[in-house]
Amino acid sequence: MNSATASVKPTLINLLDFDRKGLQVFFVGLGEKPFRATQLLKWIYQEGVVDFEVMTNLSKSLRQYLKDNCHIQTPEIVAEQLASDGTCKWAMQTHCGNKVETVYIPEERRATLCISSQVGCALACSFCSTAQQGFNRNLSTAEVIGQLYLAQQRLGPEHRITNVVMMGMGEPLLNFDNVVAAMNLMMDDFAFGLSKRRVTISTSGVVPAMHRLHDVCDVSMAVSLHAPNDELRNQLVPINIKYPLAELMDACRAYAQNGPRKHITFEYVMLDGINDSPQDAKMLAKLLKTVPSKVNLIPFNPFPQSQYRCSEMATILKFRDILHNAGIVTTIRKTRGEDIDAACGQLVGQVQDKSRRHLKLQAARTTPHAI
C-alpha cells in the first residue's frame, strides 16, 4: 500500500478519481480502446495492484505513460480505534492535512462501512457533532472511494465489506459528482461489485439533488428527517428552511418510485423533550402516510457541549409503537462504537474550518438562549 500513499507530484492524474465511464473517456483520449478502463479497474480494485509495471496486459508504452503522468493515491490511515463491540474507526488524512473519519461496523450477516463525503459539514444540524466542526471542502472521488479501498485492504479478504452507507462526515448530495462517481465504482462489477441495495446515500434533504440522483445512480436512499413539522425541523435541520417538508416528501415519493428498494428510510434522532412526544409520533405518521417508508429511530449520542439529551428508552418504545400501529415499519438503531465516538452524529475528524462555524458557536454560547 506504500506506493498508493507515497508523496507524489501534484500535477499527476489520480486514476481513483474516475469511474468506468470516466476511465473510458480518459483512455480514448490517449488513442486507446475503451476496454482499457475495465482492465485498469480490475487491477486496482480486484487485484489491489497500484504498480503500473505489474499490469502486464497493458502495452509497455501505455504503462510508461501511466507511470510518467498518473498515480493511484488514497488518503492515509493515521489512527485506528477499536470499540468493545468490534466497531473500528479510522482517521484518514487527506493530502491537505485535514482528517475525516470512516467507521467499520461488523455484524453477524453483514459488514458495513460508513464513509465520509466532505471535510466537515456546512449544514449546521444542531444535534450533530460533525456539524459543529465547520466545513473545509468536498472530498474528491479518490478520497471517497479511497476510504473503501483502504478499509478493505486493512481488513483483508476474510472480512469482506458487504454494505456501504454514505452517512459519515458531510452532506453527500452537496458533493454530487464526486460521490456519484465513487458509488458507481462501489457497484461496478469490475471494481467492488456491491449490490445497489447495499449502497445507501443519506441526505438531510437537498431536494434538487435528490431529483437528479435517481436519473443517474440507482442506490438506496435514507433521509435525515428528525422532526415531523417545518417549525421544529427548521431548528434542528436548517436546510429545511430552503427545502421544506412538502418539497422533501414530493422528492421522496418520486425517488421511491424508481429506487432499488421502493421505499425511503427516514432517520429520526430521539431528543428528550424536543421531538419525542406521542403527538410528534402521530404527526410523523401523518407526514409519511403517502410515502413508502421505513423509520429508523436513533437514540441520541451525546458529544461535548451538546444541548440535548437522549430520550428515555420507554419513550422511544412508545414512539415506535405509535408508528407501528399506523402501519409504518419502525426499528430502533442499535448504538455501535459509542466508546470510541464512532456512533451516529459523533464523527469529527480534524477540520480546518473555512466557515468560521467555531467562532459563531463560541459567540452563541456566551449569549443566553442564542442556540
Active site amino acids? 101, 344
Q: What backbone torsions phi and psi does residue 189 show, to the nearest 5 degrees?
A: -60, -25
By C-alpha distance, which of 77, 67, 123, 135 is closest to 103? 77
Q: What backbone torsions phi and psi does residue 307 show, to the nearest 5 degrees?
A: -90, 0
Q: Where are the beta strands (DSSP E) in 72-133?
A: 76-82, 88-93, 99-106, 111-114, 118-120
Q: What would the grid cell of residue 72 be?
A: 493511484
In the three-class reduction of DSSP (H, G, I as helix; E, B as strand; rest coil), residue 157 is classed as coil
**DSSP codes, 15-34:** GGG--HHHHHHHHHHTT--T
Q: What backbone torsions phi and psi does residue 115 show, to the nearest 5 degrees?
A: -110, 145
Q: Are 196 and 180 in contact (CB under 8 A)?
A: no
- Cα separation, 146 vs 143, in Å, equals 5
- Cα separation, 137 vs 133, in Å, equals 12
